[in-house]
Structure 1
Amino acid sequence: MSEQLHMYLSHSFVLYALIVGVSIALCAAMVGVTLVLKRFSFIGDGLSHVAFGAMTVGTIMHVSSNLYVTMPITILAAILLLRGSQNSKVMGDAKLAILSVVSLAFGYLMMNVFSSSANVSGDVCTTLFGSTSILTLTTEDVILCLVISAIVIVSFVFLYNRLFAVTFDEEYAKATGTKTETYNLIIAIIIAVIIVLGMNLVGSLLISALIIFPALSAMCVFGSFRAVTICSIILSIVAALTGMFISILGGTPVGATIVTVDAIMYLIFILLGKVTARG
């Protein structure tokens, strides 16, 4: 098995996949803690459905990279959801449910009407649950992903104290002059960016798991925001690498394998949390 793994690692497309996988996992876990604590998890799930619909538009238009279409549409949806829910007769969760269903239906409809492939069901399944398409990344895709990931990481580090304040006590932060609406908007945009990046890795339906599971696992053992964030990042990277290696060697679906590893880690940390609490 080690010889087989060494053989795979000698190929550039495998290294590209691992680099992109680690960068996406890092960004997802970094923002996942804030997402869970602010109860924004449902927004991540809804935006992943929007990204699916947007990706079909990019495919139909034969855009060189779907990121150029999917990214702005998903970010716009995040902004509209956050701003529109403040003064609306329709509750935020209901609006998000409507947007999710419509996006999924629109994406599937477009794939059927304008499909250039004989296997529409396979294309839909690939987009929703991820596939070995992560192994077909070009140098341009990798560079674009790394640049966007770097922007996300730098933004999070630079705004760490403000995001911390908005996450734990938004009312107090607002009273002290912090523009909470602006930082909530930044969080929503970062979530949208990560979801779009992660679609090639785990698919649009599973990306929210990549964001949430590491944060929940870390919270079972640690209590401070910093410790939870660091632990979440480590767990996410380990799960991504483990899932991708298993997928490469065993031929299993990439997205489902990574999420399964994340779920197993979550169960282990639940038990570990109970043991440490007793101690």
Structure 2
Amino acid sequence: MIELLTDPLVQRILLVGLLVGITAPVVGTYLVQRRMALLGDGIGHVALAGVAAGWLAGSAANLAEQDAWAIPGAVVFAVAGAVTIERLRSRGAAADIVMAVLFYGGIASGVLLISLAGGSNANLLGYLFGSISTVTWNDVWWTVGMGSVILIIGIGLRSALFSVTHDQEFAESTGLPVNALNMVVAVLAAITITVSMRVVGVLLVSALMILPVAIAQLITRSFSRTMRLAMAIGAVLTLTGVWITLFQDLSPGALIVVLGVVVYAAVGLITTLTHVRKAPA
């Protein structure tokens, strides 16, 4: 087992898994607080179109470097989608309708563009459900860079971002730049999705952002404690799922999400039984 840890591929897989597990719940905490848990799904499908556009650009430039264009393309499209959703939401547009349009339009555009770029079904499935076994050092550096941005902004501006997500009217009365901070949350969500894409895929990325937060909320009520606990839970879930798939031929993204659902159900059952026992007769 120690010899396995010396394998460069295993090191890359575990490093990316750890970074994703820690960073995804940071933004997920804000999304849960804003009751926009499904925002990740809408942005994720736009990111798929960005992956496909990157593939198409790589195909036109140099076929050997085709995959290297995928993450930059996903970042551009995901950020653009997040900014569009936030601007329309701030102007009173129905957020669920906007996300539905981006949801279907993004995935349909992604499938068409990948086909035009000469990608295979395996390439498509890799981005839909994750393909951490193919992670390169280039992917690692992208993950480290974007993960650092998420942690620095998400934790550094925690007080201001909490005020905006908890009570926007109160935040406005205190003089906080509400629109700018809302945009920061949306952009952080886009970056988180592109960071997590290799591990769980665009179809399951929202689950990795939300499930650790949902589990943490069953245990603690404090916002800061919830975020810290969710980061720890996300790291444990991701590393456990990735480690199991090193020995079993399973999809790491699907396994991580299933583990999260099982833990959520178990913790929910335990807390419910505990409250029942403590309740007065």
Structure 2 equivalent of residue 98 of structure 1: 101
Change over 3 Å in CA distance of 1:163–1:276 after alignment to 2:
farther
Q: In the alignment, is residue 114 of structure 1 matched against residue 117 of structure 2?
A: yes
Q: Deviations over 1:132-153 (max 9, x none)?
A: xx23333232122112111211
CA drift of 1:69 comes to: 1.3
1:46-85 to structure 2, matched below 5 A, reads 46-62=42-58, 63=66, 64-85=68-89
Number of aligned residues: 269
Residue in structure 2 matching 1:275, options 264, 273, 276? 273
The one-letter code of the counterpart of 1:17 is: I
1:148-167 to structure 2, matched below 5 A, reads 148-167=146-165
Do 1:126 and 1:203's aligned partners in 2 also have CA atoms closer than 8 Å? yes
Q: Deviations over 1:235-263 (max 9, x none)?
A: 11000010001111112111111111111
1:1-279 to structure 2, matched below 5 A, reads 5-62=1-58, 63=66, 64-87=68-91, 91-116=94-119, 120-131=120-131, 134-278=132-276, 279=278
TM-score calculated relative to the size of structure 1 = 0.91
Structure 1 equivalent of residue 62 of structure 2: none
The one-letter code of the counterpart of 1:253 is: S
C-alpha separation in 2, matches of 1:164 and 1:114: 42
Q: Deviations over 1:109-168 (max 9, x none)?
A: 22233325xxx333322221113xx23333232122112111211112220110121122
The one-letter code of the counterpart of 2:126 is: T
Do 1:20 and 1:145's aligned partners in 2 also have CA atoms closer than 8 Å? yes
The one-letter code of the counterpart of 2:200 is: V
The one-letter code of the counterpart of 1:239 is: L
% identical equivalent positions: 28
C-alpha separation in 1, matches of 2:226 and 2:32: 11
Say what the alpha-carbon RMSD is for the aligned residues.
1.5
C-alpha separation in 2, matches of 1:85 and 1:164: 18
Do 2:89 and 2:95's aligned partners in 1 also have CA atoms closer than 8 Å? yes
**Which secondary structure does the structure 2 equivalent of 1:66 belong to?**
helix
Change over 3 Å in CA distance of 1:139–1:114 after alignment to 2:
closer
Change over 3 Å in CA distance of 1:67–1:124 after alignment to 2:
closer
C-alpha separation in 1, matches of 2:194 and 2:23: 12
C-alpha separation in 2, matches of 1:74 and 1:45: 11
C-alpha separation in 2, matches of 1:242 and 1:110: 34
Q: Deviations over 1:201-228 (max 9, x none)?
A: 0111000000010001111121111121
Structure 1 residue ranges (4+ consecutive) displaced by more than 3 angstroms after TM superposition: none
CA drift of 1:21 comes to: 0.9
Change over 3 Å in CA distance of 1:151–1:114 after alignment to 2:
closer
C-alpha separation in 1, matches of 2:187 and 2:133: 27
Structure 1: gaps (5+ residues):
none
The one-letter code of the counterpart of 2:82 is: A
C-alpha separation in 2, matches of 1:219 and 1:264: 15
Do 1:221 and 1:276's aligned partners in 2 also have CA atoms closer than 8 Å? no
TM-score calculated relative to the size of structure 2 = 0.91
Change over 3 Å in CA distance of 1:100–1:272 after alignment to 2:
same
Q: Deviations over 1:79-107 (max 9, x none)?
A: 1111123336x522112101110111111
